[in-house]
Amino acid sequence: DADVTQTPRNRITKTGKRIMLECSQTKGHDRMYWYRQDPGLGLRLIYYSFDVKDINKGEISDGYSVSRQAQAKFSLSLESAIPNQTALYFCATSDLGGSGSYTGELFFGEGSRLTVL
């Protein structure tokens, strides 16, 4: 089983619908992230969380919200989906590691492909 699991893997929805993408991890990491990838572009940070009580906006948070239900679970919601939110969404985790060993390495899920019609 994957260490970082995203559901659903594929979703087609209509404009105006509410969508939730879920992420769960078994790595025991405190830090979790949601990224978005558009064709030909890199990954852009939507939201990130350093623990259950710490949620932070990334560079493209407008139109999205998140919930950190537990250390292992981090959900991304689109309250009212629009076509330009059609993209590939990745959840990732990272760990601080031991003293002086944190490099920012991210562990990614397999992605959730969202299409908004």
Binding site for other proteins (CB under 8 A): 4, 31, 35, 40-45, 48, 50, 58, 90, 92, 94, 102-111
Of 34, 24, 8, the residue nearest 71 (C-alpha): 24
Using CA atoms, how far apart are residues 58 and 40, in angstroms rounded to an integer?
Answer: 20
Q: In whole angstroms, how close is the CB of 16 to other proteins at the nearest point? A: 28
The residue among 51 and 79 lying less far from other proteins, judged by its C-beta, is 51
Q: In whole angstroms, how close is the CB of 59 to other proteins at the nearest point? A: 8
| β 19-25/10-13 pair status | unpaired
The residue among 39 and 84 lying less far from other proteins, judged by its C-beta, is 39
The residue among 82 and 96 lying less far from other proteins, judged by its C-beta, is 96
Q: In whole angstroms, how close is the CB of 110 to other proteins at the nearest point? A: 5
DSSP string for residues in 75-94: EEEESS--GGG-EEEEEEEE
| Cβ proximity of 38 and 87 under 8 Å | yes
